[in-house]
């Protein structure tokens, strides 16, 4: 192994994207500096912002939370219990232990309490349960960020997630999604400011940071497993990266630099029609009642 680029001691890791050999100590400092540079580059939030981290118990969200706190940010967490039996119990326990060690507050939201049912009940009714699960999570995270008085909601999406989702959007020419695919979205019409500070980090880099910070994260995957197409896009991106290293970051960053600004000129044409307020819960929605209130009603009327 080569010598660490910063201190010339023996390197313990090589970061291919940046051609950087690093020792344990400098991997941590490099990671946090690069995170700060990403936050600044995309003007995600100012130093004194009150930040809410969407925490799942997995490596990405816990690493993000830890690194933000190490950088001096005021960051608390929010965990959504999806009602997926053992898996939800375990992820909640991991998140609570982590919050306690970090000395920060963790807000809890329980879908079975809020909705009267969990994600497994949705799976029994629709094949699109993952899309629905994602929308439900976004609804509750948005509401919690606003009502609890935070300035910005941050999520642990990493480069691998963003590049494979971008591939899916390009293959389907989902202009509506592409026009909103940016690592920071401003507050708008009841929707809170959102940011993805790990968007330039690979899973590998995040795992290496987690190891050196001794972060105990959940390695189990959701037993309901993601919809097949998502896995296919992720596998294709991994294969491209293997054959042509640097493909993911180029694909994603060139999209942000070159195509995203062009889409913004026509953004109104792609986005949903005007938003309204849901007459039941008061949240912003494309129509009233919103999809969450309609789902709740549907389940209630069928006695589920
Ligand atoms: Fe929800 Fe699907 Fe993720 Fe499970 S895999 S948490 S159901 S989006
Ligand atoms: Zn070093
Ligand atoms: Zn509603």
Spacing, Cα 284 to ligand 3 middle (Å)? 8
- Does ligand 1 lie within 6 Å of residue 133's CB atom? yes
Contact status, residue 179 vs residue 169, Cβ threshold 8 Å = no
Sign of the Cα torsion 162, 168, 171, 174 reads: negative
Contact status, residue 106 vs residue 55, Cβ threshold 8 Å = yes
- Does ligand 1 lie within 6 Å of residue 130's CB atom? yes
Sign of the Cα torsion 43, 47, 50, 52 reads: positive
Sign of the Cα torsion 168, 171, 174, 175 reads: positive
pLDDT at 76 over 80: yes
Lowest-pLDDT range of 7-16, 77-86, 216-225, 265-274: 265-274
In this prediction, residue 273 carries a pLDDT of 62
Ligand of minimum distance to the alpha carbon of 11? 2
Ligand 1 nearest-atom number relative to CA 134:
8
In this prediction, residue 46 carries a pLDDT of 98
Residue 20 parent element (H or E): strand 20-22
Q: Could you list which residues have their CB under 5 Å from ion ligand 2?
A: 4, 6-7, 23, 26
Burial class (CB in 10 A: 0-12, 13-18, 19+), 145: buried
In this prediction, residue 59 carries a pLDDT of 98
Return the residue whose CA atom lies nearest to atom 8 of ligand 1.
Answer: 130
- Does ligand 1 lie within 6 Å of residue 224's CB atom? yes
pLDDT category, 231, cuts 50, 70, 90? confident
Mean pLDDT of 178-190: 92
Residue with tokens 């695919």: 181
Return the residue whose CA atom lies nearest to atom 4 of ligand 1.
Answer: 222
Closest CA to 152 of 181, 120, 192, 182: 192
pLDDT per residue over 131-177, tens digit each?
899 999 999 999 999 999 999 999 999 999 999 999 999 999 988 88
């Amino acid at each position: 192994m080569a010598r660490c680029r910063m201190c010339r001691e023996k390197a313990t890791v090589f970061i291919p994207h940046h051609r950087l050999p690093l020792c344990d100590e400098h991997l941590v400092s490099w990671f946090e500096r690069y995170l700060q540079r990403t936050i600044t580059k995309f003007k995600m939030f100012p130093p004194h912002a009150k930040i809410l981290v969407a925490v799942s118990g997995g490596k990405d969200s816990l690493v993000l939370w830890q690194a933000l706190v190490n950088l001096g940010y005021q960051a608390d967490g929010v965990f959504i219990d999806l009602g997926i039996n053992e898996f939800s119990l375990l992820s909640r326990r991991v998140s609570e232990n982590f919050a306690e060690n970090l000395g920060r507050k963790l807000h809890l939201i329980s879908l079975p309490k809020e909705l009267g049912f969990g994600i497994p009940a949705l799976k029994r009714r629709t094949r699109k349960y993952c899309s629905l699960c994602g929308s439900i999570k976004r609804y509750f995270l948005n509401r919690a960020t606003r009502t609890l008085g935070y300035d910005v909601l941050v999520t642990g999406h990493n480069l691998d997630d963003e590049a494979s989702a971008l591939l899916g959007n390009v293959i389907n020419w989902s202009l509506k999604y592409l026009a909103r695919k940016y690592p920071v979205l401003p507050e708008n019409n009841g929707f809170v400011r959102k940011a993805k500070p790990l968007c330039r980090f690979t899973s590998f880099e995040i795992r290496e940071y987690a190891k050196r910070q001794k972060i105990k994260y959940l390695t189990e995957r959701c037993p309901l497993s993601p919809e097949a197409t998502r896995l296919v896009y992720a596998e294709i991106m991994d294969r491209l990266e293997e054959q042509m290293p640097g493909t993911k970051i180029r694909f994603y960053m060139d999209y942000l630099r070159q195509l995203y600004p062009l889409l913004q000129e026509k953004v109104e044409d792609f986005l949903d029609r005007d938003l309204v307020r849901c007459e039941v819960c008061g949240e912003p929605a494309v129509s009233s009642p919103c999809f969450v209130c309609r789902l709740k009603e549907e389940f209630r009327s069928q006695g589920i």
